[in-house]
Homo-oligomer: A and B are copies of this chain.
């Protein structure tokens, strides 16, 4: 029998390194020597960079085990008999300096209760309209999804649009992407898909940021970016499932709220 936990842990750690290196390479191309600061805690490691390309970026690996609180467990599959869980994952949030570069968000995770499944997604939050970028971003995700299953892209894109929606504002958060959860078709092909999602995100980070990081912007553009970040904060604190999961399962608060932007504004 394959050791699912071990395989996942190794991949998530490798992916954390990979994405950090991509970000550092971009900083170097920009003539910045910014580095990630590592924060280790008993259940993981989150790394934060404050650079010239990425104003604040967080790349977190975690491996949390425990028991779900009762009134949280009933929202989670496979907890009918026992409320214990094993979870591991990587999550990334990049808040760029340049308002032309969208904020990029990614997560993949494996969770084991009485059942076991994968979840995750990739989405982008620009603060400036760019139809070409949106097309490029989605075509890349579509292509990757199609390599695994022709039904995935449509399904996971829809899920993403529904998930990253701010009901109180009646606004979608960004330009969407893909989102999936409770994925438990076949472990091996699910894991392959999850790896591909990670690698595709890594490519997107490099390609999208490189294309835009030198573009000129105005004070007004930056102002708009900070207002958009306000919405990001609202979403994360009011609705994000990862935030709720983390705060409900004794996660590290600094690691959970690593996704907060470096700064934000409200009108």
Contacts and interface: CB of A to CB of B under 8 A. Distances in A.
B257 A234 contact: yes
Given A168-B247, A234-B237, A237-B237, A262 B253 contact: no
A22 interface: no
A52 to B, nearest CB: 18
Contacts of A265: 262-263
A12 to B, nearest CB: 24
Contact of A266 (B168, B238, B262): B262
A253 B231 CA distance: 12
Q: Which of A230, A256, A263, A264 has the most CB of B within 10 A?
A: A264
A257 B166 CA distance: 13
A215 interface: no
Contacts of A233: 233, 237, 264
A191 to B, nearest CB: 32
Contacts of A262: 265-266
Contacts of A237: 233-234, 237-238
A261 B266 contact: yes
B266 A260 contact: yes
A226 interface: yes
Given A261-B266, A264-B264, A169 B253 contact: yes
Interface in A227-267: 230, 233-234, 237-238, 247, 253, 256-257, 260-266
A64 to B, nearest CB: 15
10 contacts: A56-B266, A168-B247, A168-B256, A226-B263, A233-B233, A233-B237, A233-B264, A257-B266, A263-B263, A264-B264
List 4 tightest A-B contacts by C-beta distance, closest first: A237-B237, A260-B266, A263-B265, A168-B253
